[in-house]
Amino acid sequence: MKPPVLRPEPLTREAFAPFGEVIEASDAVRHFTINGGNTERYHDLADIDVGPDGRVIVSIFRGQPRSLPFVVEMMERHPLGTQAFVPLNGRPYLVVVAPAGPAPTVADLRLFVARGDQGVNYGRGVWHHPLLALDTISDFLVMDRSGSAPNCDEVTLDLPGLISQPV
Ligand SMILES: NC(=O)N[C@@H](O)C(=O)O
Ligand code: NI
């Protein structure tokens, strides 16, 4: 059977809410002026949760661009903590997610096209595809959990999904 084509959706806080938060300086979020008027603070955008035994760490992921069309064959989740990605190069990228819970099927997958000024924070246990950078080598600031217990479950999709081009 041919892999179903995943329908790209624009990344919005509302559409992404079942999977986590969107990290962006939007007028829709609480923001206020600080530093004597020099700076606007877009406040409390995401819940970084690493559980009682984890430690929050900040890393940079330097992703190679994915070639399109791209076949989504696997998904992963981090049951012990959230994982946030914030693009550092101002370039669009792709996010493929499925709800936390049982292993997803291709019918559960959602494909979001993120702008270069939008980050995402995957909720604990939310299924997602590893980083999907586009067009050029791209750096992302990543906030996630460090700890001794294993924190990455992977599944292979019985029927893969297809990200066609152009998204
Ligand atoms: N393995 C790793 O740290 N990266 C993945 O979790 C990812 O979501 O890219
Ligand atoms: Ni991950």
ipTM given for this complex: 0.93
Predicted local distance difference test score (pLDDT) of residue 1: 87
Burial label, 81 (beta-carbon count in 10 A; 0-12, 13-18, 19+): buried
Q: Which of 76, 77, 138, 145 to mutate to test the pocket of ligand 1 (most atoms within 8 A of CB)?
A: 76
Confidence of residue 39 (pLDDT cuts 50, 70, 90): very high
Q: Where are the beta strands (DSSP E) in 11-166?
A: 20-23, 31-34, 39-42, 55-63, 70-77, 83-87, 93-98, 110-114, 119-122, 127-128, 132-133, 138-146, 153-163
Looking up tokens 């603070």, which residue turns up?
41
Amino acid at 141: L
pLDDT given at position 105: 98
pLDDT attached to residue 166? 73
Fold of 8-163: Jelly Rolls (2.60.120)
Distances (CA, A) of 19 to 23, 80, 103, 106, 122: 13, 15, 15, 16, 6
Q: What is the pLDDT of residue 122?
A: 98
Token reading at 18 = 């079942």
Percent of the chain at pLDDT > 90 equals 98
Name residues whose C-beta falls within 8 Å of residue 25's C-beta, 6 or more positions apart in sequence: 31, 40, 42, 117
**pLDDT (tens digit, 9 = 90+) per residue, 81-140?**
999 999 999 999 999 999 999 999 999 999 999 999 999 999 999 999 999 999 999 999
Cα–Cα distance for residue pair 88/127, rounded to 1 Å: 23
What is the rounded average pLDDT of the residues 135-146? 98
Look up the pTM and report it: 0.96
SS3 16: helix
**Nearest protein Cα to ligand 1, atom 3:** 130
Nearest-CA residue for atom 2 of ligand 1: 130
